[in-house]
């Protein structure tokens, strides 16, 4: 496939606007469709806010911002696209309607990648006559800042499509992983769901406050997780014997902890308890202020670790 230079973003809410900023920063032209009457203004404002972050991370190409064109229909937005990032609401009927609209307008080599976090590729494929160039490309929010993209196809995906998508994403600074088979939530969302389930259980049963459970993550294992994943970290934890020795040494402890993990349900009462706790933790800071602080911390960590990642 020829080098990808023109992209399209379908659905330009928070996720789509973030993808737009990243594509434009990489010098790629972006055709954008969103049904919101304020969509164009919202995207332009988002890109303007994101740009300093992209420059700090070295993701914005000096002197070359890709052109952004806004369209009144999804069909018009995809005509010239080589790569499409789809971000419309996670309802199968909405996605299927979109796919039926754009499929006749696509060039033969165009790849359509969905940001869907909760839907299965096989479910979404039923909206296509030919789903061979449709894949999952699930980011973490915000995509211009968090490197991860989870890639997934299946036996109806054409040969080489995932490889082209992988090369494309990595060329704009993303870190890709392959999801080996369909499961709800893919990989990363399942991991964070498992952690949050136990975090909620600890609050619900009075083991720790919302703030203390959060502190236990960011001031403890969260620092290590930003450096390496759990398997590699435990491989390092038992000395020369590696992960095998770790498993032998700590199997009784982990078996006991796993048997005691909770299975909370997000009842209205529990949701109210968690909301009150996080509001207390926020200490009157606005959501915008908290998000800005989050982004600044992530940028600092990414810059500090970028050279080490290349070792």
State the virtual CA torsion across 156, 161, 162, 166 in degrees, nearest 10: -170
**pLDDT tier at 62, thresholds 50, 70, 90:** confident
pLDDT greater than 80 at residue 10: yes
Residue range 210-236: mean pLDDT, rounded: 95
CA–CA separation, 249 vs 269, rounded Å? 40
Q: Answer yes or no: are the C-beta atoms of 30 and 84 closer than 8 Å.
A: no
Q: Answer yes or no: are the C-beta atoms of 95 and 19 closer than 8 Å.
A: no
Compute CA 19 distance to the chain's CA centroid, rounded to the nearest angstrom.
10
> Per DSSP, what are the bridge partners of residue 32?
9, 70
Q: What pLDDT score does 34 carry?
A: 97
Residues ≥6 apart with Cβ < 8 Å to 277: 203, 209, 210, 211
Q: What pLDDT score does 311 carry?
A: 46
Q: What pLDDT score does 1 carry?
A: 58
* Orientation angle between helical segments 210-218 and 188-204, nearest 10 degrees: 140
Q: What pLDDT score does 111 carry?
A: 98
303 to each of 61, 222, 289, how far by Cα in Å? 17, 17, 21
Residues 103-158: tens digit of each pLDDT: 999 999 999 999 999 999 999 999 999 999 999 999 999 999 999 999 999 999 99
Domains of the chain: 6-178 (3.40.50.720), 188-227+265-309 (no CATH)
Residue range 286-311: mean pLDDT, rounded: 84
Of all residues in the chain, the percent with pLDDT exceeding 70 is 98
Cis peptide before 201 (omega within 30 of 0): no
CA–CA separation, 97 vs 73, rounded Å? 12
Residue range 288-307: mean pLDDT, rounded: 89
Residue range 85-101: mean pLDDT, rounded: 97
């Amino acid at each position: 496939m020829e080098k990808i230079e023109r992209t399209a973003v379908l659905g330009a809410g928070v996720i789509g606007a973030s993808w737009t900023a990243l594509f434009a920063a990489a010098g790629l032209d972006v055709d954008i469709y969103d049904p919101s009457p304020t969509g164009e203004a919202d995207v332009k404002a988002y890109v303007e806010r994101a740009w300093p972050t992209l420059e700090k991370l070295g993701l914005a190409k000096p002197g070359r911002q890709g052109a952004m064109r806004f369209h009144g229909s999804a069909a018009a937005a995809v005509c010239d696209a080589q790569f499409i990032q789809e971000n419309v609401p996670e309802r199968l009927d909405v996605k299927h309607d979109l796919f039926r609209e754009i499929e006749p307008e696509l060039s033969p080599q165009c790849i359509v990648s969905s940001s869907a976090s909760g839907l299965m590729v096989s479910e979404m494929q039923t909206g296509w006559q030919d789903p061979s160039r449709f894949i999952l490309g699930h980011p973490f929010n915000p995509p211009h800042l968090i490197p991860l993209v989870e890639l997934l196809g299946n036996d109806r995906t054409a040969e080489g499509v995932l490889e082209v998508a992988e090369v494309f994403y990595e060329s704009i600074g993303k870190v890709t992983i392959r999801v080996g088979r369909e499961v709800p939530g893919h990989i990363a969302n399942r991991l964070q769901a498992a952690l949050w389930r136990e975090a909620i259980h600890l609050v619900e049963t009075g083991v720790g406050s919302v703030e203390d459970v959060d502190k236990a993550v960011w001031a403890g294992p969260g620092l290590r997780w930003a450096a390496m994943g759990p398997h590699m970290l435990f491989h390092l934890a038992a000395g020369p014997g590696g992960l095998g020795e770790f498993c032998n040494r700590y199997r009784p402890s982990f078996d006991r902890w796993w048997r005691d993990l909770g299975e909370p349900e997000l009842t209205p009462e529990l949701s109210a308890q968690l909301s009150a706790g996080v509001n207390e933790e926020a200490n009157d800071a606005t959501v915008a202020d908290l998000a800005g602080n989050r982004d600044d911390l992530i940028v600092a960590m990414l810059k500090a670790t970028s050279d080490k990642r290349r070792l």
